[in-house]
Amino acid sequence: MSILVNKNTNVVVQGITGHEGLFHTEQMLVYGTRIVAGVRPGKGGEWVVSGKVPIFDTVSSAVEATGADCSIIFVPARAAPDAILEAADAGIPLVVCITEGIPVQDMMRVRKYLDEKQVRLIGPNCPGLLTPGEAKVGIIPGHIGRPGNVGVVSRSGTLTYEVIHAITQRGMGQSTCVGIGGDPVHGLGFLETLELFEEDPHTDKIVLIGEIGGNDEERAAEFITDRLTKPVVAFIAGQTAPPGKRMGHAGAIVEGGTGTAAEKIKALEAAGARVARHPEEIADLLAGL
């Protein structure tokens, strides 16, 4: 069982002819993801990956021809907002945007529109999704995961990889791994993802990887207290970051005494989550649950 994507997900790749788009399309295909189409205006009618994937000029034509129900976006930042909107208008219910550097004002406009259309967005500036043994929609290395019962949700791309690998090395597996991205305006957050894991009968444990900045982790702690029945192991990155300094992600900034690692850890521990002191401890805590 999984959340968001599985072996039956039909994926269209927007920006498929670019270097990143083509490379990761090949990697997703090798993993077994059902890549049914690509989109690049002006390239409609062509094929890529040794004739395996047809290219369409628009997302709507790709959806009409192939039944795609998920889009992954490898479009440059200046065009990515319109690419997300195009996918939504074509009836795609799940959009994964890998692109980084999208202006906050643009994402505010996009998020408002997606909420009205009831379209789920993962990202932007994220590594995407991995359901081990079924599908990967993004850039998470497929070989580091294995099917299992641990759901992973993370704001940090690199830490996502490290933790998945550590869990696998301990003989445990993952149901679905969700990289939500660290931009201040994004799609699905901790709350929505935790709710999906709570509803998934094959997810028994959850790993939450947060970082300094914002209040998403504190809100997740409230959800854990009020509604979650499954055990959570958490880690907060940026514990040594100086106040007022942006560290990595656009959303990882602490101002006015809020969004600190200490406050997030305190909230999560109060909610009953087991909080790791460093990433290497996460697998050990999971094994003890």
Q: What's the pLDDT score for residue 245? A: 54
User: Strands, DSSP E only, in the chain?
Assistant: 10-14, 34-39, 47-48, 53-56, 70-73, 94-97, 120-122, 128-131, 135-138, 147-154, 174-179, 205-211, 232-237, 274-275
Return the structure tokens found at 202. 């094959």
Q: What's the pLDDT score for residue 239? A: 72
**Hunting for tokens 């989109």 — which residue is that?**
39
Give the whole-angstrom CA distance, residue 150 versus residue 56: 37
Q: What's the pLDDT score for residue 253? A: 47
Report the side by side order of strands in the sheet with 274-275: 135-138, 128-131, 174-179, 147-154, 205-211, 232-237, 274-275
φ, ψ of residue 140 in degrees (nearest 5):
-65, 130
Of 19, 24, 249, 278, which is the active-site residue? 249
User: Strands, DSSP E only, in 6-127?
Assistant: 10-14, 34-39, 47-48, 53-56, 70-73, 94-97, 120-122
Question: Of 172, 170, 180, 174, which is closest to residue 142 (Cα–Cα)?
Answer: 174
Q: Does 124 sit behind a cis peptide bond, omega within 30 degrees of 0 on the bond before it?
A: yes
Cα-only R_g, the chain? 18
249 catalytic per annotation: yes
Report the side by side order of strands in the sheet with 94-97: 47-48, 53-56, 34-39, 10-14, 70-73, 94-97, 120-122
pLDDT above 50 (res 254): no
Same domain, 87 and 210: no
Please indicate, yes or no, if residue 92 is contained in any of the structural domains: yes
pLDDT above 80 (res 246): no
CATH number, domain of 188, equals 3.40.50.261
Q: How confident is the model at residue 1 (pLDDT cuts 50, 70, 90)?
A: low
Please indicate, yes or no, if residue 130 is contained in any of the structural domains: no
Same domain, 97 and 212: no
Same domain, 223 and 162: yes
Region 252-256: mean pLDDT is 47
pLDDT above 80 (res 178): yes
Give how far Cα 51 sits from Cα of 19, 36, 56, Å.
Answer: 17, 12, 14
Domain span at residue 118 reads 10-122
Q: What's the pLDDT score for residue 240? A: 61
Same domain, 224 and 191: yes
Same domain, 144 and 232: yes
CATH number, domain of 86, equals 3.40.50.720
Give the whole-angstrom CA distance, residue 187 versus residue 108: 10
Average pLDDT, the chain: 93
Give the whole-angstrom CA distance, residue 47 versus residue 155: 35
Same domain, 105 and 166: no
Which sign, positive or negative, has the C-alpha torsion 144, 150, 156, 159?
Answer: negative
* Helix, strand, coil abundance in the chain, percent, nearest 5: 35, 25, 40
pLDDT above 90 (res 72): yes
Same domain, 152 and 261: yes
Between the two ends of the chain, the Cα-to-Cα distance in Å is 21
pLDDT above 70 (res 112): yes
Give the whole-angstrom CA distance, residue 198 versus residue 201: 8
